[in-house]
């Protein structure tokens, strides 16, 4: 039954091998969207275009993402669809695909439409939008997470197999944690920023939401490619997803700096995740997170907010009424910062980088809870800034420190809320972060009842809490 088909890469490929046509899968995607009945997920639905594209695919042609339904955060250009960045007055017709979208299109993927976001990708909550706020796919009392809210929710409901987000402060990871997904945040410069509305140009990256680590990594590999026209692109080789080497050392927050703002379930769940890793032979080192948190605070309290001010531009002073009030308040802050502030911030960051490098000495990866705790829509209504800032505890420092990371579901907490860990690595070691994530991902897929497939790695064995399924294609 198509309605029961998990939208993972292996399951879709199997279905297509069994004779299902992508047009039917795309139709099913929109049936699911209609069933969820959440007008906040998409800003632009490309129903007819997607069906037509799928129809035009013809017979399987071997392309890696042939017929795979996906969606794109609405700050990334897709030819034929407006780009709004969740600011209707900003809307433009991009004319052509963003570099990464062009690569996915060339790989055969079918775009379902453009998803909602915190306006100009400024926020971690998903409620800073003039469009309807998407519901969290797991629990509508919780914020959907942002800024890539619609992209996360679309995957969590099984509407899309994967989605593109962006990540500057954690927008590709926090919504993954809140919707029980994988959120892959590449090293800066591996996915071209051409055709992406900037937030902080020195810190932005496109990101990927998917149900599983291997799906996310496969999409990442398809979208990656050096783009000489993107000044921030980096020509780094992306390693294949492989098993973790035997002798891995991870750092974790020590007891004094495992910040969960009083959410003991979150701390307990994280401890259990780390215990699992330790039993699997990983060496664990507790570190003081203070310098990382000091870096995290610089993103909004320091001069980097002026990057957002630069990105939004004259609209702040000339048409402030076209901005979401919270967004306006935040990006206006950047107008007050001087170039001296900016350089002093850069110096401070450089000094903190050294302290963080010191903390990471002898360590391969850093594992943290993706979010410290959960934020309700009521809380963010009462205080639009504070709870948002708390959500960035374990994400805000990552891009400033030029690290890569992957948020990965680690099963339900004792209270049923989704557990999620982020594995962080140094720039260029995306494969290493994903390899560890692969060993910890567990639980049902997103908000669905679908079982997690075993990753199809060479000689990988299913773990005792996984179900082995055959994967072809």
Active site residues: 73, 147, 171
Order the strands of the 283-287 sheet from edge to edge.
42-45, 110-115, 69-73, 162-167, 205-210, 182-185, 403-412, 418-426, 365-369, 249-253, 283-287
Nearer to a second copy, 298 or 407 (CB): 298
Structural element, H or E, at residue 47: helix 47-56
Cβ 76 to a second copy shortest distance, Å: 19
Cβ 348 to a second copy shortest distance, Å: 9
The residue written with tokens 């500057």 in the block is 168
Helix, strand, or coil here: 406? strand
Q: Are 372 and 257 in contact (CB under 8 A)?
A: no
Nearer to a second copy, 202 or 412 (CB): 202
Q: Residue 147, preceding bond cis, omega within 30 degrees?
A: yes
Nearer to a second copy, 16 or 90 (CB): 90
Q: How far, in Å, CA of 147 to CA of 327, rounded?
A: 12
Structural element, H or E, at residue 433: helix 430-440
Strand 403-412 relative to strand 182-185, pairing: antiparallel
Cβ 101 to a second copy shortest distance, Å: 22
Cβ 172 to a second copy shortest distance, Å: 22
Q: With CA atoms as reference, report the closest residue to 190 among 228, 222, 225, 219.
A: 225
Nearer to a second copy, 275 or 344 (CB): 344
Cβ 67 to a second copy shortest distance, Å: 36
Nearer to a second copy, 137 or 188 (CB): 188
**Which residues of the shown chain bind a second copy in the complex (CB under 8 A)?**
201-202, 228, 231-232, 303, 306-307, 309-310, 334-335, 337-344, 346-347, 350-351, 353-354
As beta bridge partners, residue 73 has 115
Q: Are 399 and 169 in contact (CB under 8 A)?
A: yes
């Amino acid at each position: 039954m198509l309605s029961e088909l998990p939208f993972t890469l292996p399951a879709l490929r199997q279905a297509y091998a069994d004779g299902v046509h992508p047009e039917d899968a795309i139709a099913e995607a929109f049936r699911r969207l209609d069933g969820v009945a959440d007008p906040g997920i998409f800003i632009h639905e490309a129903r007819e275009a997607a069906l037509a594209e799928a129809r035009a695919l013809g017979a399987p042609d071997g392309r890696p993402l042939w017929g795979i339904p996906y969606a794109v955060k609405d700050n990334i250009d897709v030819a034929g669809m407006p780009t709004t960045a969740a600011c209707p007055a900003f809307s433009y017709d991009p004319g052509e695909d963003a570099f990464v979208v062009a690569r996915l299109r060339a790989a055969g993927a079918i775009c379902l439409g453009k998803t909602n976001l915190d306006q100009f990708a400024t926020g971690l909550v998903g409620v800073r939008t003039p469009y309807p706020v998407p519901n969290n796919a797991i629990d509508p009392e919780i914020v959907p997470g942002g800024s890539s809210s619609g992209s996360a929710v679309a995957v969590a409901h099984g509407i899309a197999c994967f989605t593109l987000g962006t990540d500057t402060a954690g927008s590709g990871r926090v919504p993954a944690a809140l919707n029980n997904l994988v959120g892959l945040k590449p090293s800066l410069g591996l996915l071209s920023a051409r055709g992406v509305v900037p937030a902080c140009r020195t810190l932005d990256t496109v990101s990927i939401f998917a149900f599983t680590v291997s799906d996310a990594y496969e999409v990442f590999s398809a979208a990656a490619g050096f783009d000489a026209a993107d000044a921030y692109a980096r020509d780094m080789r992306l390693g294949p997803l492989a098993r973790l080497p035997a002798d891995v050392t991870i750092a974790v927050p020590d007891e004094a700096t495992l910040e969960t703002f009083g959410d003991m379930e979150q701390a307990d769940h994280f401890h259990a995740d780390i215990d699992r890793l330790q039993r699997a032979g990983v060496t664990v080192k507790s570190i003081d997170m203070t310098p990382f948190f000091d870096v995290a605070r610089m993103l909004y309290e320091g001069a980097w907010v002026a990057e957002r001010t630069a990105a939004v531009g004259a609209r702040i002073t000339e048409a402030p009424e076209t901005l979401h009030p919270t967004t306006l308040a935040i990006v206006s802050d950047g107008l007050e910062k001087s170039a001296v502030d900016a350089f002093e911030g850069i110096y401070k960051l450089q000094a903190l980088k050294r302290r963080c490098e010191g903390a990471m000495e002898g360590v391969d990866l850093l594992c943290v809870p993706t979010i410290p705790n959960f934020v309700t829509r009521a809380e963010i209504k009462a205080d639009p800034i504070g709870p948002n800032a708390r959500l960035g505890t374990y994400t805000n420092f990552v891009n400033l420190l030029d690290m890569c990371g992957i948020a990965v579901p680690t099963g339900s907490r004792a209270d049923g809320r989704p557990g999620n860990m982020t594995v962080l690595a140094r720039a260029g070691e995306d494969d290493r972060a994903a390899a560890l994530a692969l060993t910890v991902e567990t639980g049902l897929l997103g908000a669905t009842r679908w079982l997690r497939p075993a990753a199809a790695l060479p000689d990988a064995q299913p773990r005792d809490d996984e179900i082995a399924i055959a994967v072809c294609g």
